[in-house]
C-alpha cells in the first residue's frame, strides 16, 4: 500500500486548506449529531415506554411470587393432609 504522505513541511496555503477541511468536516459531524438527537416529545415517549416496561416487569415478578406461594401452600396442605390420614389410619388399626 502506497503512502501518500509527504515528508516536507506544508506551505501557508496548504496549512490553511488542511485546517479548513478539518474544521468543515468537524462542523458537518456536529450538524449530523444534532440532527440525530431526540426531541422533547421523543424523550417523553421513551420515558413512558421505559416506565411501562418497569411496571410490566414488576407485575409479572409479583405474579410469579404469588403463584409460588400458592403452590407451596397447596403442596404443604396436601402433604400435611396425607400425613394426618396416615397417622389416623395407624391409630385406628
Mean pLDDT of 40-44: 92
Q: Is the pLDDT of residue 72 over 90?
A: yes
Residues 6+ away with beta carbon under 8 Å from 58: none
Residue 63 C-alpha cell reads as 405474579
What band does 14 get if pLDDT is binned at 50, 70 and 90? confident
Domain-wise residue ranges, the chain: 12-92
Q: What confidence score (pLDDT) does residue 4 get?
A: 62
Residue 74 C-alpha cell reads as 397447596
Mean pLDDT of 25-29: 89
pLDDT more than 90, % of the chain: 49
pTM: 0.48
Mean pLDDT of the chain: 88
Q: Is the pLDDT of residue 2 over 80?
A: no
Q: What phi and psi values does residue 78 have, to the nearest 5 degrees? A: -65, -45
Amino acid at each position: 500500500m502506497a503512502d501518500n504522505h509527504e515528508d516536507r513541511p506544508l506551505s501557508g496555503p496548504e496549512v490553511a486548506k488542511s485546517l479548513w477541511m478539518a474544521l468543515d468536516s468537524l462542523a458537518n459531524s456536529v450538524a449530523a449529531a444534532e440532527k440525530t438527537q431526540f426531541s422533547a416529545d421523543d424523550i417523553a415517549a421513551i420515558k413512558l415506554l421505559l416506565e411501562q416496561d418497569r411496571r410490566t416487569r414488576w407485575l409479572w415478578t409479583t405474579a410469579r411470587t404469588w403463584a409460588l406461594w400458592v403452590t407451596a401452600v397447596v403442596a404443604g396442605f396436601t402433604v400435611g393432609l396425607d400425613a394426618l390420614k396416615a397417622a389416623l389410619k395407624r391409630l385406628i388399626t
